[in-house]
Amino acid sequence: DAILVSREVYDDAQVYPYLYAGHYHKDAGRDDQSQEYRLVESLRLYAEASRVASAYRYDTKDCLQLMKHMTTVASLISRDILRLPENCGGNGKDCRTWLRRENAIGAATWLMGFFDSLLFWEEREQSSFVEILSIRQKHCVSKLFQLFSADIRTLAISKIHSHKDTGDGASAITEDKMMYFGNPRSKRLTRDSLLVMALSKGKISVRELEMTLPSSGGGRSTRQRKRPRV
């Protein structure tokens, strides 16, 4: 198991084992609606990949390829997980209709987890460099979360701010065992943050203000995010 080797030999410092495992479960769940829990597992693995990445010291040259992977993951999440593909009766644009409510809630929490580590990474480095955190990016936070209904988003936000052990000792999400992301590290995802309040609304509208990088002293940074070329 590549993830186990990465944890035991490389001190859990490798992103790619999580990405590859996430792709595997995404494809399986995408093509078989009876296995939609695997879509949640893929989001959990993508969240683990961003968690590992957030421990790196950001360097424009060294992290360029990694940033491309994160942008690709956001695109895959939109296309294969949050939308209903044509082979499942959709047109590639319709929001996925989740068969089990708890799968939808779990998916929303792990999508929050994916973004949480990227937000935290920027805050730790005191620099805005993650392309998909730009409000103008095709698969930005607001556009992905808008693919969940408002009630699912509200329940997911409540879950992530719960201090309970939501994993129930499980190491992976299965048809019978659900796990939820919890306790975000990003200051922009605290319970009463502007971003969380925006994500709770029926129609999401995320502005530059909600995405402003907090200063290391606890206030809001005056740094402006560079506009990515997309």
H or E, element range at 58: none
Q: Which helix (H) or strand (E) holds 12?
A: none
Query: What is the reported pLDDT for 29?
Result: 95
The token duo for 37 is 């829990």
Supply 215's token pair. 């200063």
Return the pLDDT at 6: 85
Mean pLDDT for 135-153 is 97
- The confidence band for 222, taking pLDDT boundaries of 50, 70 and 90, is very low
Neighbours of 51 (CB within 10 A): 21
What is the C-alpha to C-alpha distance for residues 162 and 15, in angstroms, rounded to an integer?
27
* pLDDT for 221: 55
The tokens of 127 are what?
Answer: 């620099």
| CA separation for the pair 204, 177 (Å, rounded) | 30
User: Do the Cβ atoms of 82 and 96 come closer than 8 Å?
Assistant: yes
b vs e for 206-216, b when ≥16 Cβ sit within 10 Å of the residue's Cβ? Answer: beeebbbbbee
When pLDDT is cut at 50, 70 and 90, the band that residue 92 belongs to is low
* Mean pLDDT, the chain, integer: 89
Q: CB count, 10 Å around CB of 183?
A: 12
| Highest mean predicted confidence (pLDDT) among 53-62, 154-163, 211-220 | 154-163
- Nearest Cα neighbor of 38 from 52, 46, 28 is 28
CA dist 197 to 29, 106, 137, 225, Å? 31, 19, 20, 21
What pTM was estimated for this model as a whole?
Answer: 0.90
Alpha carbons within 13 A on the beta-carbon side of 223 = 15
- What CA–CA distance (Å, rounded) separates 161 from 180? 11
Residues 134, 118: contact at Cβ < 8 Å?
Answer: no
